[in-house]
Structure 1
Amino acid sequence: VLPHDPSMRPVWMMRIGLFLYDHLARREVLPASATVDLRHGEIGQPLKPRYSKGFAYSDGWVDDARLVVLNAVDARERGAEVLTRWRCADAQRAASGWQVTLQGPGGQERSVQAKVLVNAAGPWAAQFLREHAHIQDSKTLRLVKGSHIVVRKLFDHQTAYVLQSPDRRIIFVIPYEGEFTLIGTTDVEHNGPVGQARIAADEIAYLCEQASRYMRQTVTPADVVWSYSGVRPLLEDEAANPAAVTRDYQLELDTRAAPLLTVWGGKMTTFRKLAEEAADMLAAPLGGSRGAWTQDAFLPGGDLSGWIGTAQRPDGDFQRFEQALTLRHPELSEPMARRWARAYGSRVELLLRDGLGEVVAPGLYEAELRYLHEHEWARTADDVLWRR
């Protein structure tokens, strides 16, 4: 829900924008946008009384950690070798392709040969070319830091808010992990090492201030229980405002010698389309193509037909699966069944093949720990608690 602030954009502009949003996007599942009265009902209750009108629209969301891991699991199940905790120490062009030196977590080295090399290092893409592939490229990445804060939940329903700020940016206020609210994001130039991006005090203050402009409950830095920052690798287009830099991606195929495909920019929303385009570009160097196929493919655990029969609608299908899981495994508490259903889908049977086992930590059983170690490369506590 986007509460309307008359001092920002007029109603007619908002309606035109949402009309375009509705008609440019596929609306097979998500409902169309609508005007909502914030003076009545639970949606308006967390907002200050001066916000009486709003606009509701629907969008999708994803757990980025699960998406990345499940893509890796899917690749392995299709024949790929996935080497977590290994880095590319050196890449040299040779007559027959690429000679790549990989370095493992213990310092051990391994040499591999490849027909083509794909540089999908995100914010490290330019650095990889210079320092590891020994290539100087004219492309420049603009690194923009986006930070989020997490506070105790500000409302009890599952609707998120989109807040307009005076600097023309928007802030999202999103239900998060049951008991919390996620607030973000910022757009700040990042000039330091990519791996050392951290939220700054002024970013925390900014997010608290913008949330407090709309929410009845004032949000202060003291309310922040956690925060995180990411770095967006954006193609430099000389825009003065970091928020105005294009979020689009560009694929660059260098075939002067052994083929090298570099991915510049990109974001989660278009990752699958980007990957299909990359595969199409590599068809000729690799000597074959099977065509795009991922649009209708399931990620591991995504095919629920064995539990619920014929698929109908994603939202209703998931609810039916959660109910079926609870009935088949009454030993699972309701919160655990919901979390496992969302995280693992039909692969929950792999978790439960030998029972729950011992309690390792609150909400974490031996069965899940064993599964993550055997099937999802988990090796440390952080792998389990934060990265899966």
Structure 2
Amino acid sequence: MTGMVDVMVVGGGINGVGIARDAVGRGLSVCLCERDDLAAHTSSASTKLIHGGLRYLEQYEFALVGKALAEREVLLKLAPHVIWPLRFVLPHESHLRPAWMIRLGLFLYDHLGRRRSLPGSRRIRLEGNPLGAPLKPQFHTGFVYSDAWVQDARLAVLNAMDAAARGAEILPRTRCVAAVRSAGHWQVTLADAAGRERTLTARALVNATGPWAVRFLDEIAHVPHTHTLRLVKGSHIVVRRLFEHDHAYIFQQPDRRIVFAIPYEHDYTLIGTTDVDYHGDPAQVHIDAEETAYLCAAVNRYFRRAIAPADVVWSYSGVRPLLDDHQQNASEVTRDYRLELDTDGAPLLNVFGGKLTTYRRLGEEALDLLANVLPTRGGAWTSDPAQPLPGGERDPNALADAWRAQRPWLTASLAWRLAHQYGTRGERILGEAGSLDALGIAFGAELYQAEVDYLREHEWAQTAEDILWRRSKLGLHVTPADAARLAAYLADTQSAAAGTA
């Protein structure tokens, strides 16, 4: 790409890559930089749901819920390999919320977003029902409703891949160290991991830096503003599987918050999330003992089998950059977003707030704004099911079955995982292999060299952490020795590539 671009996007989280994809599809030249790996922070630290936010109905955020539910329908069609339906069980506790309120809320939830592909909600009797088996005996009645599961970091990477395939330049591990504004353009200085600098001229600058959005304005762009973000930490814990079926649970808490317990990586249960005001470095966020105790207590109110902090096999935390609407309780701060186009000089688009579910809509609205100041070709396009994200052209379950029929040596678990992470792109990993051995070095948990090489060549993966914890969640399944062998392989191949460059 030349030294002049239409749009310079700073930030490789879900909002940044979504904006980049939409922009390049409208005929604009695009460069995106991210100082770390793609989706390295908030966008890989979610509860892994595409959902409307049932609890936001109590806060009268009907527009936000309706928008998110409509997006749920769109995204299920665009990325069926990384987003799929998930049913939720809500055990009823009358002293927290009366049954009529829950029925009304679920009726609204079923109808606000023009639900078409998912089954509606219903009331169930928990006694004698497999869905009630893990619960304590005092829970007699429950409600079941639909939302969707997402592989969050993969969703971000797929958007970046599609943007790159359409002509965008995607630069992970590249910092924006300066952005100087003039009347007609931005002069942007980028620095790669080795400290090598490069200067680009951009007609418009997009600040999609998430928790760092205000700091970017203050320290990089040096643009006067009056904005504040409320940073809220959300933490999750993972324990060994607490129930055998494929539904998730949503648990009401005495503080009126809700906590999810979700089937995770076949052998585990994911529990989250917390909402705690955060004042530290968003890149150094970790769960604390109080949050762990809160999440354990939250599920212990409902499940027969109690868990303790010692049962936690993994935890993760992220910082949500929320619009500060001066709510006292962090859990009540709006999850909606605000886009601000500043044209006091070369255009600057600031992205404040947002959530994973509405990233595509946010990108579309961002480009509708930029279309007022940039020469775009064509209008909104990213909701078109004929333009799926890479790999989303076929149903992943049918794809896994077809692969096994063609390749009897392929295990059911590996076929399922490849289909639900890569979709049709999994063909590039399997290639002409006629056996598992032909896939190359085995790094444990059915991770083979062919997949690792694919991730390096096509998905910007450089480290074992990129592969084990973002491109996949195999970090829960490999041994420390496996991870060390993978890290050594990546270091060797990077050294060899550098030597031939």
Instruction: Judge same fold: TM > 0.5, yes or no.
Output: yes
Q: Could you list the per-position Cα deviations for residues 27-46 of structure 1 after superposition, in whole angstroms to 9, with x for gaps in the alignment?
A: 21110000011002210000
Q: Which runs of 5+ in 2 are unaligned?
A: 1-88, 434-438, 472-501
Separation of aligned partners in 2, 1:181 and 1:96: 52
Task: State the SS of the aligned residue for 2:171.
Answer: coil
1:302 aligns with 2:380: no
Instruction: Give the CA deviation at 1:330.
Output: 2.3
Match of 1:217 among 305, 310, 332: 305
Q: 1:32 to 1:362 in 2, by over 3 A?
A: closer
1:151 matched to which residue of 2?
239
1:347 to 414, 421, 425: 425
Measured in 2, the distance between the counterparts of 1:41 and 1:132 equals 57
- Residue 95 of structure 1 and its aligned partner are, at CA, apart by 4.1
State the percentage of identical aligned residues: 57
- 1:22 — aligned with what? 110
Q: Which residue number corresponds to residue 107 of structure 1?
A: 195
Output aligned runs, 1:105-144, within 5 Å.
Answer: 105-144=193-232
Q: Does the aligned pair in 2 maintain the 1:302–1:346 contact within 8 Å?
A: yes
1:332 equivalent to 2:410? Answer: yes
Q: Which secondary structure does the structure 2 equivalent of 1:151 belong to? A: strand
Residues of 2 paired with 1:318 and 1:343: CA distance? Answer: 9
Alignment partners' CA distance in 1, 2:396 and 2:465: 28
- Deviations, residues 193-245 of structure 1 (Å, cap 9, x unaligned): 11111101000000000100000100111111110001110011110000111
In structure 1, the residue matched to 2:449 is 366
**Which residue does 1:318 correspond to in 2?**
396
Matched letter for residue 159 of structure 2: N
Answering whether residue 169 of structure 2 is matched by residue 65 of structure 1, we say no
Q: Distance in 1 between matches of 2:114 and 2:246?
A: 23
**1:357 corresponds to 2:445:** no
Deviation at 1:322, TM superposition (A): 2.0
Say whether the 8 Å CA contact 2:340–2:350 is kept in structure 1.
yes
Change (3 A) 1:237 1:288: same
Distance 1:327 1:290 in 2: 42
Tell me how far apart the structure 1 counterparts of residues 295 and 467 of structure 2 sit (CA, whole Å): 29
- Shift of the alpha carbon at 1:139? 1.1
Q: How many angstroms does 1:66 deviate by?
A: 0.5
Amino acid at match of 1:379: Q
Q: Is residue 287 of structure 1 aligned with residue 375 of structure 2?
A: yes
2:366 is equivalent to residue 278 of structure 1: yes
**Structure 2 CA distance, aligned partners of 1:326 and 1:65?**
27
Is the Cα–Cα contact under 8 Å of residues 280 and 289 in structure 1 kept in the other structure? no
CA distance in 2, matches of 1:35, 1:95: 60
Deviates more, 1:212-221 or 1:323-332: 323-332
User: Pick from 117, 120, 126: which aligns with 1:32?
Assistant: 120
- Name structure 1 gaps, 5 residues minimum: 305-316
Matched, 1:76 2:76: no
CA RMSD in angstroms comes to 1.0
Larger deviation: 323-332 or 22-31?
Answer: 323-332
Residue correspondences, number: 376
Residue 321 of structure 2: aligned partner: 233
- Tell me the amino acid that sits aligned with residue 42 of structure 1: P
| Equivalence map 1:181-200=2 (5 Å) | 181-200=269-288
**Partners of 2:456 and 2:467 in 1: how far apart?**
9
Distance in 2 (CA, whole Å) between partners of 1:9 and 1:264 is: 32
Q: Structure 2-normalised TM-score?
A: 0.74
Q: Where has structure 1 moved over 6 Å in runs of 4 or more?
A: none
* Cα distance in structure 2, aligned partners of 1:65 and 1:158: 22
2:150 match: secondary structure: coil
**Structure 2 counterparts to residues 163-182 of structure 1, below 5 A:** 163-182=251-270
For residues 94 and 383 of structure 1, the distance between their equivalents in structure 2, rounded to whole angstroms, comes to 37
- TM-score when scaled to structure 1? 0.95
Give the CA deviation at 1:335. Answer: 0.9
The aligned amino acid for 2:414 is M
Shift, 1:25, TM fit? 2.1
Q: CA deviation at 1:273?
A: 0.2
Whole-angstrom CA distance in 2 between matches of 1:272 and 1:362 = 33
Shift of 1:332: 1.8
Alpha-carbon distance in 2 for matches of 1:162, 1:387: 25
Match of 1:310 in 2: none
